[in-house]
């Protein structure tokens, strides 16, 4: 049968928000554009919005649901004739959609013979807002007159320059010694990959301006000094990264002066002396919800370096996928890296019926780690445990207690997604996995997640309940058993502090941390890793994603903190409240100015600040089903975060940032239509 004979379908989805005064309802309209009637079929959709398990559905029924994957069946004997539309209305969403990317963004029809036919899906529309839907990075035009005469992001500590010479066509770095040579090589490769036709690095025979590079004493690790003169430039620093940063600054100055000669100069004399405000200037990328290939990750790292960002937190596993090759357990990637119709992991978050996904081979990881290190970036891998493990458990079902009964659900609607903290099997498998990872990642910091374990986790596992009885007492174990099959968290992550789940998780964390410490590694964890106060503060780093106050409190308890408050530093959050903006909104909205001017340590005491390692933005990828959405959500907020991490607060200026950020590269080159 040909595809046309089987039918052709179109799905339009529509949300009626409560603000209209009507009852909130999500409707899905499937049109049969083919020339054949269909009967005995179902419709599957995926996209961030989740239909609540308890939702009532008009026009059909919800026959299967896994997180945001939903399968609907029409009433019995229903036939969808050519040209006709089947309408479903769901009353009851796990959270109310707020942006066009919240709704279904992929779908397919499953015919009576179980074959899947892709459906053309239009972006979800909302009543009361018909503004054109946006994608692509917002363009920041470079003004004729900028607040400064040189284009540098993030802004340096001191810029004392004067005069101007005609900007040369490129730079000709002349390193003294091997370390400086490595910095020059890294810069040449970086400039070539980011701006291939500009010839930023070129020999003197092509007009390259001489730049001497030397390692000197008396510099902090990432600091550098540039001295300008009309005949040549010198850069000095204490490390390879310091020299690289000096070259990046100079490259930015040159690009600005060449591309916008009315606005920016190439200085004739003077100095730039620079050093970062914070040590940890991080970016987290979730490659589980959407997959980004090695080439994309590599180019993203180059953009990080151009922003002087120095930590890449690589979120390699989650409920939706497992992305790293582990020799001992090939099933992790054979099963866990792929989603599709009929697979153990169904289409989710906009993936369609076809098999999609991928993973990083060990060779690919080594390539990324080597590139990162040449760019001054430390790679921090994350394997998210004991929660967020649906994909891992699909691949290695033995990680569940075989006697476990009933179900518990995560905030994202995954059932039974936690590794059992009581069984030896769990530790045997995890230690093997971590050993393979430690070999791949020289950073010696392994992030183990520890976020969002559901309140009901392990409430149907006899071994877990027995352990809880032994360590927490009868009342706690009995209360925990009562949580089985109770859906607690459809509207936000459970607060589990003090619960049986937290007590069991603490046992798990203490043991995993001790193992990692025995391998010489620092344990990274989201702030929930502090529950139970069991992890060794001298060998851990926590990532505070809730409020500024909550992170301050943890710093006060002595935890080293990287702060990434969700309401501003989660780049999956939309730029504004408008439906036409892509992104999520559960933690808030933040436009570039809000992110730039936000003080992540407001109200912290000096003692608390001693435990501040730095700042990080997090790119959770649920809504980033198309690359234009990625560019819109990530840029220029990534550069705004970079300046928060690098530039001392008193030297920050949003007006300056706004004038300069248009010169910064974006990943996919997709700009909004203006």
Q: Which residues bind ligand TNX (CB under 6 A)?
A: 451-452, 526, 545, 570, 572, 584, 620, 622
Write the DSSP symbol of residue 326.
-
Contacts of 94 (CB under 8 A, 6+ apart): 49, 50, 51, 52, 413, 490, 491
Question: How far apart are the C-alpha atoms of 599 and 313, rounded to whole Å?
Answer: 22
Q: Is 288 or 465 the residue whose CB approaches ligand TNX more closely?
A: 288
Nearer to ligand TNX, 264 or 570 (CB): 570
DSSP per residue, 622-660 = TT--SHHHHHHHHTTHHHHHHHHHHS-GGG--HHHHHHH
Shortest spacing between CB 403 and ligand TNX, in angstroms: 28
Question: Residue with structure tokens 């600040």?
Answer: 609
Exposed e or buried b per residue across 395-420, where buried means at least 16 C-beta atoms within 10 angstroms of its C-beta: bbeebbbeebeeebbbbbbbbbbbbb
**Residue (86 or 630) nearer to ligand TNX, CB:** 630
The two structure tokens encoding residue 598? 């936000």
Q: How far is the CB of 583 from ligand TNX (least distance, A)?
A: 9
To ligand TNX, the closest distance from the beta carbon of 611 in angstroms equals 19
Burial class (CB in 10 A: 0-12, 13-18, 19+), 369: buried
Give the residue with the Cβ less far from ligand TNX, 417 or 661. 417
Decide: helix, strand or coil at residue 203.
coil
Q: Given the complex with ligand TNX, which of 620 and 635 has the nearer CB atom?
A: 620
Angle at 615 between CA 301 and CA 578, to 5 degrees: 85
Number of C-alpha atoms within 13 angstroms, CB side, residue 286?
25
- Give 481 or 618: the residue with its C-beta nearer to ligand TNX: 618
Cβ nearer to ligand TNX, comparing 228 with 545? 545
Within 279-323, strands assigned E span 280-286, 311-315, 317-318, 321-322
> From CA 139, how far away is CA 148, in angstroms rounded?
20
Residue 104 C-beta: closest distance to ligand TNX, Å: 18
The nearer residue to ligand TNX, 93 or 247, going by C-beta atoms, is 93
Secondary structure in 3-state letters for 433-487: HHHHHHHHCCCCEEEEECCCCCCCCCCCCHHHHHHHHHHHCHHHHHHHHCCCCCC
- Closest separation in Å from C-beta 618 to ligand TNX: 7
Residue 68 or 149: the one with the smaller Cβ distance to ligand TNX is 68
CB of 318 to ligand TNX, least distance (A): 6
* Shortest reach from residue 297's CB to ligand TNX, in Å: 18
CB of 524 to ligand TNX, least distance (A): 11
User: Residues 594, 140, 570, 382: is their CA dihedral positive or negative?
Assistant: negative
CB of 569 to ligand TNX, least distance (A): 11
Pick 286 or 658: Cβ nearer ligand TNX = 286
Structure tokens at 605: 């005491």
Q: Answer for the pair 207, 270: CB distance below 8 angstroms, yes or no.
A: no
Q: How far is the CB of 372 from ligand TNX (least distance, A)?
A: 22
Q: Measured in whole angstroms, how far is the alpha carbon of residue 88 from the centre of its chain?
A: 33
């Amino acid at each position: 049968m040909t595809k046309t004979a089987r039918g052709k379908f179109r799905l339009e989805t529509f949300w009626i928000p409560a603000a209209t005064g009507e009852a909130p309802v999500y409707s899905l309209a499937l049109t049969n554009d083919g020339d054949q009637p269909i009967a005995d079929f179902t419709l599957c959709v995926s996209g961030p919005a989740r239909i609540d398990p308890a939702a009532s559905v008009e026009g059909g029924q919800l026959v299967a649901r896994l997180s945001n994957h939903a399968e609907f069946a029409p009433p019995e004997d229903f036939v969808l004739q050519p040209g006709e539309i089947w309408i479903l209305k769901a009353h009851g969403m796990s959270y109310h959609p707020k942006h066009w990317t919240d709704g279904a963004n992929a779908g397919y029809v499953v015919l009576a013979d179980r074959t899947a036919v892709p459906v053309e899906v239009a972006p979800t529309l909302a009543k009361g807002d018909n503004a054109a839907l946006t994608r692509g990075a917002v363009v920041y035009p470079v003004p004729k007159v900028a607040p400064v005469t040189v284009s540098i992001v993030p802004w340096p500590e001191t810029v004392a320059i004067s005069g101007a010479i005609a900007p040369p066509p490129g730079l000709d770095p002349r390193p003294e010694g091997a370390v400086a040579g490595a910095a020059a090589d890294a810069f040449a490769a970086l400039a070539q990959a980011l701006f291939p036709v500009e010839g930023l690095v070129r020999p003197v025979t092509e007009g390259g301006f001489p730049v001497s590079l030397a390692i000197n004493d008396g510099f902090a690790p990432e600091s550098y000094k540039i001295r300008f003169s009309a005949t040549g430039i010198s850069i000095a620093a204490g490390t390879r990264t310091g020299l690289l940063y000096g070259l990046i600054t100079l490259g930015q100055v040159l690009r600005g002066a060449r591309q916008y000669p009315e606005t920016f100069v190439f200085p004739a004399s003077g100095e730039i002396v620079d050093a970062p405000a914070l040590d940890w200037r991080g970016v987290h990328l979730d490659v589980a919800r959407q997959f980004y290939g090695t080439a994309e990750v590599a180019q993203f790292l180059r953009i990080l370096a151009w922003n002087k960002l120095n930590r890449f937190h690589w979120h390699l596993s989650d409920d939706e996928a497992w992305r790293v090759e582990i020799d001992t357990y090939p099933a992790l990637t054979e099963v866990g890296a792929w989603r599709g119709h009929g697979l153990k992991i169904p289409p989710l978050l906009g993936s369609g019926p076809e098999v999609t996904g991928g993973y990083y081979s060990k060779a690919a990881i080594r390539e990324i780690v080597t590139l990162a290190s040449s760019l001054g970036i430390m790679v921090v891998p994350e394997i998210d445990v004991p929660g967020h493990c649906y994909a891992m458990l699909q691949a290695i079902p033995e990680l569940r207690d075989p006697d476990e009964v009933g179900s518990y659900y995560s905030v994202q609607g995954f059932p039974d997604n936690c590794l059992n903290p009581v069984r030896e099997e769990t530790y045997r498998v995890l230690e093997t996995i971590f050993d393979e990872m430690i070999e791949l990642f020289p950073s010696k910091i392994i992030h183990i997640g520890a976020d969002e374990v559901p309140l009901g986790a392990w409430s149907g596992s006899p071994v877990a309940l027995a352990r809880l009885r032994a360590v927490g007492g009868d009342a706690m174990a009995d209360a925990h058993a009562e949580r089985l099959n109770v859906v607690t968290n459809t509207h936000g992550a459970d607060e589990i502090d003090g619960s049986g789940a937290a007590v069991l998780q603490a046992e798990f964390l203490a043991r995993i941390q001790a193992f990692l410490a025995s391998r010489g590694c620092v344990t990274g964890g989201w702030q929930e890793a502090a529950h139970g106060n069991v992890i060794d503060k001298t060998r851990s780093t926590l990532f505070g994603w809730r409020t500024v106050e909550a992170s301050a409190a943890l710093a006060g308890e002595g935890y080293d903190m990287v702060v990434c408050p969700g309401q501003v530093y989660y780049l999956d959050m939309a730029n504004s409240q408008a439906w036409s903006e892509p992104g999520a909104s559960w933690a808030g909205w933040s436009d570039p100015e809000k992110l730039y001017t936000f003080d992540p340590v407001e109200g912290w005491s000096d003692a608390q600040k001693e435990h501040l390692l730095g700042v990080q933005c997090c790119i959770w990828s649920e809504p980033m089903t198309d690359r234009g959405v990625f560019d819109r959500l990530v840029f220029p907020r990534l550069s705004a975060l970079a300046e928060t991490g690098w530039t001392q607060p008193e030297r920050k200026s949003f007006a300056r940032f706004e004038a300069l950020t248009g010169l910064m590269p974006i990943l996919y080159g997709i700009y909004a239509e203006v």
